[in-house]
Amino acid sequence: MKFTAQQIQSNWEEFKNNITTYISPERASKLLDFYEKFEERIMLMPAAHKKEYHSAFPGGYVDHVNRVVKGALALSDVWEAFGADMSTFTKEELVFSAINHDLGKMGDEENESYVPQTDAWRRDKLGEDYTFNTKLPFASVPDRSLFLLQSNGIQYSFNEMVAIQTHDGLYDEANKKYLMGFMVEQKPRTSLPFILHQADLMAARIEFEIEWLPKFKLDKKVEVKASSKFTAKTPQLSNPNAPFANLLNNI
C-alpha cells in the first residue's frame, strides 16, 4: 500500500479523534501530549520492517492502529450478541488497549525502532524497506508499549495491561501463561484480550487480502521485491537530519 500526504494526515486526525472520543479527559490529555510530542515520527512510521508483514510502509502504523480500533469496537458488539459478559471491561479500556497495543514499535524517546534499510540486496531480494535500529535496546513490543505509557505518566488498568501484553495471542509463546490456563481461576476474567487479539489479527489479515490476494487470483508471480522509490509523495519533514526525512524528502 502507498499513502498520499493527505491520507497520512487524515489517518492522523482519525487517530487523535479516537483518543478524544473514547478516552476520559485526564488520560486523553496525557495521551495527546505524548503522541503530539512524537507526531512526525508516529505519523510516518511503518508497523513492520518487511513487506510480507502488515503495514510496512510510511504511515502504516497509524493506519493499522485505526483499523484495530474499528475492528475492536465491531467485534465487541459481536461478542455481546453471542452472550459475552460485557460488564467485565469498559469501552474506554477496549479502545485504550487498541490505540496503544503496538506503541512499543515506535522505539524509545531517543531512538526509532525501524530505520530505512541501506542494504540494497536486502531491499531488493527480501523486501525489507526498513531494518531494526541497533541503537535501541531489545524489548518485546508489548513490554516497551507498557513501559512508554508508565514512563510518561499515563496510567492503565489491569485489564488494559493484560490486553496489551497478550494482543498477539498464542502467536507469542509468552502469552500462554495468560491464555492457556487450565484451572478455572487461572483463565482471564474478561474477554477483552481475546477481542483485541481478534481485531489485530483481522486488520492484518484483511490488509493481506487487499494487497496480496488479487495477485494470486491473476495467477501472477507474487513479487516481494521492494520498489526503489515510493510513488506517493509524503510531507516534507521539519528535521532534515532525521532518518525518515532522508528517506522521504528524496522521493
Q: Which three cell numbers stand for residue 16?
A: 487523535
Q: Tell me the pLDDT tens digit for each residue of 111-147.
A: 999 888 888 898 888 888 888 999 999 999 999 999 9
In which residue are the cell numbers 489479527 written? 201
In which residue are the cell numbers 508471480 written? 221
Low-confidence ranges of the chain (pLDDT < 50): 226-234, 240, 247, 250-251
As to burial, measured by CB atoms within 10 angstroms (0-12 exposed, 13-18 middle, 19+ buried), residue 204 is middle
Q: Tell me the pLDDT tens digit for each residue of 200-236.
A: 999 999 998 988 788 777 765 555 554 444 344 445 5
pLDDT at 213: 83
pLDDT at 233: 46
| pTM recorded for the entire structure | 0.84
Q: Do 35 and 42 form a contact (C-beta atoms < 8 A)?
A: yes
Distance CA 40, CA 106 (A): 11
For helices 158-165 and 91-100, give the axis angle rounded to 10 degrees: 40
Distances in Å between the alpha carbon of 198 and those of 16, 113, 182? Answer: 23, 25, 21
